[in-house]
Structure 1
Amino acid sequence: MVIFDGINMSMLRKALSELTVRALAAHPIGTLMQPLRSRCVPVFMLHRIADPRHGVRGHPLALIERALSYLTHHGYTGISIHELAQALIDKRPLPPRAVAFTLDDGFQEQAELALPLFERYRIPVTLFMATDMLDKQSWSWDYQLEFIVTRTLLSHVNIRLAARSFAAALDDEGHKRQFIRTLRSHLKSQPIESTHQALDQLAFTLGVRVPASAPIGYQPMTWAQARALESDCIQFGPHTCRHLILTQMGEDDARREISQSWQRLQDELRHPVPIFCYPTGRPDLDFGAREKQMVRKAGMIAALSSEPGYIDIGRHRRNDIFALRRFSFTDNISHFIQYCSWIERAKELTFQRIKPRL
């Protein structure tokens, strides 16, 4: 074995990066610098959990456990999104090393693999559910897109969808994943009807039959599972009914997506949290002033976006409580530690100071 070949050099750099970050986050440097992060709370956003049994790609469960173990052994405090939102409303402080977690959508492997892990570590997590997934075994357009492209036997495609032409190699998993990302990005900006027409056309062209109900690998959890899992550590909130982008809908349809998903959680669960999670969650693209007003009128006390950044408990006016920010959970433990400690906050503050000069 050549120790300095490309693969091993990459592994070496990763190991050195983790050692460096751990050293900076640990005592005494971490203790000295922690005030930079003391009033800022990172909220981590997770989606699919890797489940080799059913071919599900996602966050490796072992990595999530490493992250939770790190928090437990280094003095961090897990808080729920509900607790965080209430602290913002009441303008009261939180523990100096507070961290929060969310899961989006409501898939089977999230219930079977991730939620019990959070319960075991006693670190709160809130799962935001697209309720039609549970009620009707439906599945959203973006996962149907993934299903179509990953299941095709074609090695290349040349197609025009939603007023744009696409040509892509589909001869390996990497090319397929790139095509999925490109198409998903384009279709997010299209009206719902155009998106569904594009999926029908894509499925026909690629020779893939799309099941009406979610197949294995895309199946949702059940209401019975949610009721069994609900606790002071595991909570549930609304994420629309059909996981559609609200800005691409008429006012009445968007309002129904918000209010009916909240009603379904109240019907099925003991203590759902009155906090909404916007599908896709990009400010001014996937939601705006209209949607925030609808969420407020539906009885929510807060809502979550997907815009990255800390929630600054010390400066309440900087937080839009109906567009709270979240970091994507990273599949790199060094990056996770960086966000939890003072390091990422120091980078953020440095950039804010030099940005006006650029």
Structure 2
Amino acid sequence: MRRVGRDVIKLGLSTMRSTGMHRMLGDSWRGLGAIFMLHRVVEEAAPDTAFAPNRILEVTPDFLDAVIGRVRGLGYEIVSLDDMVSRLRGGGPGPFAAFTFDDGYRDNFELALPIFEKHDAPFAVYVASDLPDGLADLWWMTLEASIRAVDHLEMEIGGEVIHHRAETNKDKRGAWESVYWRLRDLPEDEMRHAVSVLAEQAGIDGRAIANAHAMSWDQVRALHSHPLCTIGAHTASHYALAKLPKERAREDMLAGTARLETELGDKPKHFAYPYGDEGSASQREFDLATSQRFASAVTTRKGLLFAEHGNHLRALPRLSLNGDYQDVDLVEVLLGGAPFALWNRFKRVNVA
């Protein structure tokens, strides 16, 4: 999401909270429940003045702990993915919440697990198998590290050479905004190549960054055997599937699932689409997840869960716990459903 968009949304949510506008629709848009989406848990939040564009993927342990407590305090039962599917198929009971992490970061094991143990609450981690295999290209982390390392950004994207000052944190934030969405519009291989060229120029080892943050297979196995945790599939290489030819998308999904089955002894029943937005996963990908017999598949489309989602179990929306919005009161606003009703133009199910 572009920075201006994040700022507008944050202002809107804060206004709803302070004025009580989110209560105007009553409970009609609360639905059956919600799937919370997270990525990383880090000890300290980066300050607003820092150059930390990937901060949106990070929450602190204290915030996660507070959210779980608030969700339960609001009367939600925290459930496993299997239980979530059962309730959606049966139309309830609710309200319930499922907590999910994407990618497979080491901090999910080291920092998140103890918090869920404290609350005796189930959660899920969708693992892209390249991470524990030591093969991952976490290009967004590499891009951030590369911009941090240079005073002037020069980057060729789609045949256009982008120049941007990168001396101060403000400059670096501007440089990120100049290139990030241009990169996201490129074909996957071309995007990753462009970032790798910049990283080489900046003296950044992207593979080392990925390996420093990835869970090991021993940690994945430990989570898989833990009674509170479900391991789901997230492809092998974390490509935006909709930008790949159909057969390549299918193969990346199958490869990630097969790798997890080899290491864990069980085939994952649940799936998360990398990136998960409308440009990364749509009907073709939903059909692929159905053909591969996943019990559920989650997107990053914004929304809560309604009984109607029982007919769209491979296109489920989520509620992002975003590092830019680490205010537990905003979670209560989001669970009320009014922001998503407005966002989705009062459609309960958004799978088009």
Q: In structure 2, what is the equivalent of residue 93 of structure 1? A: 92
Task: Indicate the SS of the match to 2:40.
Answer: coil
Please say if residues 141 and 209 of structure 2, whose CA atoms lie closer than 8 Å, have aligned partners that are also in contact: no
In the alignment, structure 1 residue 119 sits paired with structure 2 residue 114:
no
Alpha-carbon distance in structure 2 between the residues aligned to 1:242 and 1:235: 20
Q: In structure 2, what is the equivalent of residue 338 of structure 1? A: 333
Gaps in structure 1 of 5+ consecutive residues: 1-13, 354-358
Alpha-carbon distance in structure 1 between the residues aligned to 2:14 and 2:284: 47
Q: How does 1:280-291 map to 2 (within 5 A)?
A: 280-283=275-278, 285-291=279-285
Q: In structure 2, what is the equivalent of residue 310 of structure 1? A: 304
AA aligned opposite 1:92: G
Question: 1:279–1:226: structure 2 CA closer, same or farther, 3 Å change rule?
Answer: same
Cα drift, residue 241 of structure 1 = 0.6
Question: Of the candidates 33, 36, 58, which is equivalent to residue 28 of structure 2?
Answer: 36
Q: How does 1:216-255 map to 2 (within 5 A)?
A: 218-230=212-224, 231-255=226-250
Alpha-carbon distance in structure 1 between the residues aligned to 2:267 and 2:69: 27
AA aligned opposite 1:194: E
Question: Of the candidates 179, 187, 190, which is equivalent to residue 194 of structure 1?
Answer: 190
Please say if residues 17 and 334 of structure 1, whose CA atoms lie closer than 8 Å, have aligned partners that are also in contact: no
Please say if residues 137 and 219 of structure 1, whose CA atoms lie closer than 8 Å, have aligned partners that are also in contact: no
Alpha-carbon distance in structure 1 between the residues aligned to 2:67 and 2:45: 23
Please say if residues 137 and 220 of structure 1, whose CA atoms lie closer than 8 Å, have aligned partners that are also in contact: no
Cα drift, residue 77 of structure 1 = 0.9
Question: 1:19–1:190: structure 2 CA closer, same or farther, 3 Å change rule?
Answer: closer
Cα drift, residue 72 of structure 1 = 3.0
Please say if residues 138 and 210 of structure 2, whose CA atoms lie closer than 8 Å, have aligned partners that are also in contact: no
Alpha-carbon distance in structure 1 between the residues aligned to 2:140 and 2:15: 37
Please say if residues 31 and 337 of structure 2, whose CA atoms lie closer than 8 Å, have aligned partners that are also in contact: no
Task: Indicate the SS of the match to 2:132.
Answer: helix
Question: 1:307–1:175: structure 2 CA closer, same or farther, 3 Å change rule?
Answer: farther
In the alignment, structure 1 residue 65 sits paired with structure 2 residue 60:
no
Question: 1:175–1:78: structure 2 CA closer, same or farther, 3 Å change rule?
Answer: farther
Report the identity percentage: 22
Alpha-carbon distance in structure 1 between the residues aligned to 2:18 and 2:190: 49
Cα drift, residue 129 of structure 1 = 0.6
Alpha-carbon distance in structure 2 between the residues aligned to 1:221 and 1:80: 21
Question: 1:334–1:166: structure 2 CA closer, same or farther, 3 Å change rule?
Answer: farther
Task: Indicate the SS of the match to 2:98.
Answer: strand
Alignment: residue pair count: 323
Q: How does 1:153-168 map to 2 (within 5 A)?
A: 154-168=150-164
Alpha-carbon distance in structure 1 between the residues aligned to 2:210 and 2:280: 27
Question: 1:293–1:123: structure 2 CA closer, same or farther, 3 Å change rule?
Answer: same
Deviations 1:27-72 (A, max 9, x none): xx99x94x42553322111112224599995212111111112223
Please say if residues 91 and 316 of structure 1, whose CA atoms lie closer than 8 Å, have aligned partners that are also in contact: no
Could you say which structure has the larger radius of gyration? 1
TM-score normalised by length of structure 2:
0.79
Task: Indicate the SS of the match to 1:171.
Answer: coil
Task: Indicate the SS of the match to 1:142.
Answer: helix
AA aligned opposite 1:252: E
Please say if residues 78 and 100 of structure 1, whose CA atoms lie closer than 8 Å, have aligned partners that are also in contact: yes
Alpha-carbon distance in structure 1 between the residues aligned to 2:340 and 2:206: 45
Deviations 1:223-248 (A, max 9, x none): 21122233342111011111111123
Q: In structure 1, what is the equivalent of residue 180 of structure 2? A: 184
AA aligned opposite 2:186: Q
Task: Indicate the SS of the match to 1:268.
Answer: helix
AA aligned opposite 2:328: I
Please say if residues 119 and 234 of structure 1, whose CA atoms lie closer than 8 Å, have aligned partners that are also in contact: no
Task: Indicate the SS of the match to 1:116.
Answer: helix
TM-score normalised by length of structure 1:
0.78
In the alignment, structure 1 residue 265 sits paired with structure 2 residue 271:
no
Gaps in structure 2 of 5+ consecutive residues: 1-12, 47-51, 348-352
Task: Indicate the SS of the match to 1:133.
Answer: coil
Q: In structure 1, what is the equivalent of residue 106 of structure 2? A: 108
Q: In structure 2, what is the equivalent of residue 173 of structure 1? A: 169
Q: In structure 1, what is the equivalent of residue 37 of structure 2? A: 45
Task: Indicate the SS of the match to 2:93.
Answer: coil
